[in-house]
Amino acid sequence: MTTISQPVLAYDRKNEVKEFEETKLGVKGLIDSGITQIPSIFHHPEENLVDTANSESKLGVDPIPVIDLSGPKEEVVDEIREAAGKFGFFQVINHGISVSLLDGLVKTVKEFHELPAEERMKYYRRDMETGVNYFSNVDLFVSKAASWRDTLQLRLSPTMAQPDAIPHVCRNEIIEWNKEATQLAEKLMGYFSLGLGVKEDKLKELSCGEGRVMVGHYYPYCPEPNKTIGIASHTDPGILTVLLQDQVGGLQVKYDGKWVNVKPVHGALVINVGDLLQMISNNKYKSVEHRVYANPLHEPRISIAIFFNPSRREDFYGPLPEIVSPEQPALYQHFTYNEFMYRFFSKELDGKSLTNFFSLENKS
């Protein structure tokens, strides 16, 4: 008797991504369904994966500086200049934003992501017509593998989403967070400008804080954290990012060829340099790769970030003329912000491709 072997079905990624998207429930929906194995669309190649058991810094202590903003201004400027040039990341304390607001923001963003499925689904969309959307993976349809996180996203400026479009459960906290974080970012941009030797309001003149987008990421427990990641290695495209992370941990920064943990400090905020600030500073400040590993804990991880970008999209950006000289020539071409963001959204999250694309060294 002859047996006929069954054909091996090919993995249809496009169809599985479509099916996942149509649930409108994100990875939280997968966890709620009781899965014990993650779908194939979330499987990453081995070189992208994180060994969470051995992910601690090999440098002895967390090298990412914690800067006290209540110190003398000149000292703070020096500390920020050094941290932004060496690590591209630092944490700030005594920043003027109440810890109770930060704790409340984490709590209410978590509550949004844990609303009943039918409530969350109302916000699930890719467009930003209302200024508010909820989705899983901004690069879901262009990446080779999805990451284990969901996101609530809001447009904050130049035109903020209508208050009644913001989920009620976190509305008041987000409105207050936007106001307080913007004041902090304006102060930091002044310090960044002084660190470059230009006038304090230089970055403000370039509208660098007027285009703001907030994301509230939710990293639920992952049953197979050794097969996927929370967010792929990438750099942020804009000027700077102000990030609030909870106490669960998972954020890692690439420093000196190694991945090091940015350990949570209660009440602190994480600040990092974006690609655009690296280019404006002519490499005085560094935008560095960072990632989040898939959450192996049964407690979800929450992080809330505001990305600060220019609002004048047709203006040209590049190395500041004041810091360019024959001895220190411009390292990047000038480009419009529209062109810059088109490049960002037409690819998956993948390291330093933006700064490499606009580098004059790559154009010669």
Helix (H, G, I), strand (E, B) or coil at 44: coil
Mean pLDDT of 68-75: 98
Residue 212 φ/ψ, nearest 5 degrees:
-125, 135
**What is the pTM (predicted TM-score) of this model?**
0.92
> What CA–CA distance (Å, rounded) separates 185 from 193?
12
Q: Which amino acid would we find at residue 1? A: M
pLDDT of residue 357: 86
Domains of the chain listed by start with CATH number: 47-362 (2.60.120.330)
Task: Measure Cα distances from 230 to 209, 218, 233, 306 in Å.
Answer: 27, 9, 10, 18
> What CA–CA distance (Å, rounded) separates 262 from 164?
35
- E-only strand ranges, the chain: 66-68, 89-93, 132-135, 150-157, 211-219, 229-234, 240-245, 251-255, 258-261, 269-273, 290-293, 301-309, 316-317, 335-336
pLDDT of residue 191: 98
pLDDT of residue 363: 57
Q: Which amino acid would we find at residue 274? A: G
**150-174 confidence digits (pLDDT tens):** 999 999 999 999 999 999 999 999 9
pLDDT-derived band at 253, boundaries 50, 70, 90? very high
> What CA–CA distance (Å, rounded) separates 110 from 296?
17
Neighbours of 238 (CB within 10 A): 25
Given a cut of 70, whether residue 237 has pLDDT beyond it is yes
pLDDT of residue 344: 75
Q: Which amino acid would we find at residue 154? A: L
Given a cut of 50, whether residue 57 has pLDDT beyond it is no
> What CA–CA distance (Å, rounded) separates 84 from 239?
12
pLDDT of residue 3: 45
Mean pLDDT of 210-232: 97
**Six token digits for residue 349:** 């999250």
Mean pLDDT of 53-57: 48
Share of the chain above pLDDT 90, in %: 82
Mean pLDDT of 221-243: 96
**Six token digits for residue 245:** 């992370």
pLDDT of residue 156: 97
The interaxial angle of helices 73-86 and 171-195, nearest 10 deg, is: 90
pLDDT of residue 56: 47
Given a cut of 50, whether residue 58 has pLDDT beyond it is no
- Which has the minimum average pLDDT: 7-21, 199-213, 321-335? 7-21
- Which has the minimum average pLDDT: 20-29, 139-148, 179-188, 193-202? 139-148
Helix (H, G, I), strand (E, B) or coil at 162: coil
pLDDT-derived band at 347, boundaries 50, 70, 90? low
Q: Decide the pairing of beta strands 66-68 and 89-93.
A: parallel
> What CA–CA distance (Å, rounded) separates 27 from 146?
10
Given a cut of 80, whether residue 327 has pLDDT beyond it is yes
**279-300 confidence digits (pLDDT tens):** 999 999 999 999 999 999 999 9
The mean pLDDT of the chain is: 91
pLDDT-derived band at 23, boundaries 50, 70, 90? very high
Give me the sign of the Cα torsion angle 217, 261, 86, 45: negative
